[in-house]
Homo-oligomer: A and B are copies of this chain.
Amino acid sequence: MNITDKLKRFRRGPAVISPKDIGLIITLTGINKDSKVLDAGTGTGFLAAYLANICKEVITYENRKEFYDIAKFNLKDFKNIKLRYKDVYNGFKEKNLDLITLDLKEPWKVLKYAEKSLKKEGFLFCYLPTINQVELLLKETGKFRLIKLTELIEREWETDNRLRPKSQIIGHTGFLMFFRKS
């Protein structure tokens, strides 16, 4: 079954990163079937599922029991995902990663672990709903160099009777920060 059809059956939980934003993660980091990715926090597993559809292996961390349970259900058929019930702020020991994706309140707390776990020139992606988080992260980037701070605004059109952009849209999902390990 196509991943997009599988995702429609996912149990709902915390807000997910939207396909437009996941798409940019994929193209700007160039991940592919040889890539090993670490993802935290898992949430419903929406991002982990998309990454697993493309990559060799995805390790994903979630420390809230209610989200972990949702993710466990949603990701049970994804053979190349390792779901871990752990607090990523306490560190992780994976090595030789191509990409780390962080959808966390305080991503700066794991930069020291991210540095050790990523390959040289590996990518770090942070998803940040508020500009305050962006500012705090910019102050503590360590050995990471910022590739891009950006946002994507999706403007869907109606085609039913007349052709026009939709009135009600999502004007903001999150700020997208892409880093590369020097």
Contacts and interface: CB of A to CB of B under 8 A. Distances in A.
Q: How many copies does the complex hold?
A: 4
Nearest to A138: B159
A170 B148 CA distance: 15
A157 B149 contact: yes
A12 to B, nearest CB: 17
A4 B30 contact: yes
A26 interface: yes
By size class, the interface of chain A is: 35 or more
Determine chain A's interface SS by DSSP, over half rule.
mixed
Interface of A: 2-5, 19-20, 22-30, 32-33, 50, 53-54, 121, 129-135, 138, 146, 148-157, 159, 162-173, 175
6 contacts: A4-B29, A26-B26, A129-B162, A131-B163, A149-B156, A168-B169
